[in-house]
């Protein structure tokens, strides 16, 4: 029994020494920090800057890279991609506008066309890392371009359009009828329970699946974003005319809403502006 106890104690001691040595070599291989080597990071993952101001896009990398090759790429809102920095130098389009320094990329001034995604790529020998930065160049809304048909017939499918082509970030839209704001969901409001329409606040559309006489009125649209004051287009009147049907089932629009050609009326059943 005494011999068995001594052997067991020796085995336990040897096991402890083995695990201690194994832990030492693991820590030695990671520099004792437990962090992953060759890391690329940023302190500005999303950057919002007013137009014509300067901007610093930060890109940090660990010392493991030594003296690496640093490249910057830009992807615009349409998905097109190009180099900003190639082989540690600004490309032709960005010369005089940007400056590469150890911890990032500096723009002297930014324009609305600089809005998009920037990728900082760091490489050295067989090692590579990258980080993405989203730059938003702030541009106040402009007066939106509104499309309202002057006249439509009852039962028609009609789409009113509203677009602010320059606001950044992209504007959201609100529609008004006779100066009163239209809620996005009319079914939730007593005053609009008889209305049937849909509003897309991101696309700026106001859609009537089947126009009624109650939809006639003056319409305007307001574009808004966080960069500046909202802008509204001038109100435009939409007249809704009743469609008359003969006993034969022929839909005959009233003369005020019909296009006359060779003595016959031709009706438009759908309106998209």
Residues 33, 155: Cα–Cα separation, whole Å: 71
The pLDDT assigned to 251 comes to 55
The pLDDT assigned to 195 comes to 79
Residues 71, 87: Cα–Cα separation, whole Å: 6
The pLDDT assigned to 193 comes to 72
The pLDDT assigned to 73 comes to 97
List all residues 6 or more positions away from 56 whose beta carbon is below 8 Å from its beta carbon.
Answer: 44, 104, 105, 106, 107
Tell me if residue 227 falls in helix, strand or coil.
coil
In the numeric block, which tokens belong to residue 124?
Answer: 């050295």
The pLDDT assigned to 191 comes to 76
Q: Which residue has the tokens 């606040």?
A: 201
132 phi-psi bin (left φ>0, alpha ψ -120 to 50, beta other):
beta
The pLDDT assigned to 132 comes to 97
Per-residue pLDDT of the chain (273 residues; tens, 9 = 90+): 333 334 344 444 454 444 444 434 434 444 434 445 789 999 999 999 999 999 999 999 999 888 899 999 999 988 999 999 998 899 999 999 999 998 999 999 999 999 999 999 999 888 899 999 999 999 999 999 999 999 999 999 999 999 999 999 999 999 999 999 998 878 777 777 777 899 999 999 999 999 999 899 999 999 999 999 999 999 999 999 988 665 555 555 554 433 444 444 344 445 555
The pLDDT assigned to 248 comes to 52
Residues 122, 111: Cα–Cα separation, whole Å: 26
The pLDDT assigned to 87 comes to 84
In the numeric block, which tokens belong to residue 239?
Answer: 């007249």
């Amino acid at each position: 029994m005494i011999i068995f106890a001594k052997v067991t104690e020796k085995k336990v001691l040897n096991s402890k020494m083995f695990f201690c040595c194994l832990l030492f070599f693991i820590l030695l291989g990671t520099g004792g920090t437990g962090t992953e080597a060759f890391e690329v990071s940023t302190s500005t993952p999303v950057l919002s800057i007013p137009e014509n101001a300067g901007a610093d896009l930060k890109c940090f990398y660990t010392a493991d890279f030594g003296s690496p090759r640093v490249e910057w790429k830009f992807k615009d809102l349409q998905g097109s991609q190009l180099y900003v920095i190639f082989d540690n130098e600004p490309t032709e389009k960005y010369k005089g506008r940007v400056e590469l320094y150890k911890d990032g990329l500096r723009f002297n001034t930014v324009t609305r066309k600089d809005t998009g995604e920037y990728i900082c790529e760091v490489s050295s020998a067989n090692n590579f890392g990258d980080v993405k930065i989203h730059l938003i160049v702030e541009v106040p809304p402009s007066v939106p371009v509104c499309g309202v048909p002057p006249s439509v017939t009852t039962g028609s499918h009609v789409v009113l359009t509203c677009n602010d082509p320059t606001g950044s970030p992209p504007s959201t839209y609100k529609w008004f009828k006779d100066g009163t704001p239209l809620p996005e969901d009319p079914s939730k409001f007593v005053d609009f329970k008889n209305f049937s329409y849909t509003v897309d606040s991101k696309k700026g559309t106001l859609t009537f699946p089947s126009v009624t006489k109650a939809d006639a009125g003056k319409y305007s649209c307001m574009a808004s974003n966080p960069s500046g004051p909202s802008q509204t287009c001038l109100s435009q009147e939409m007249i809704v005319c009743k469609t008359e049907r003969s006993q034969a089932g022929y839909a005959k629009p009233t003369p005020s809403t019909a296009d006359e050609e060779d003595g016959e009326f031709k009706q438009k059943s759908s309106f998209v502006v």
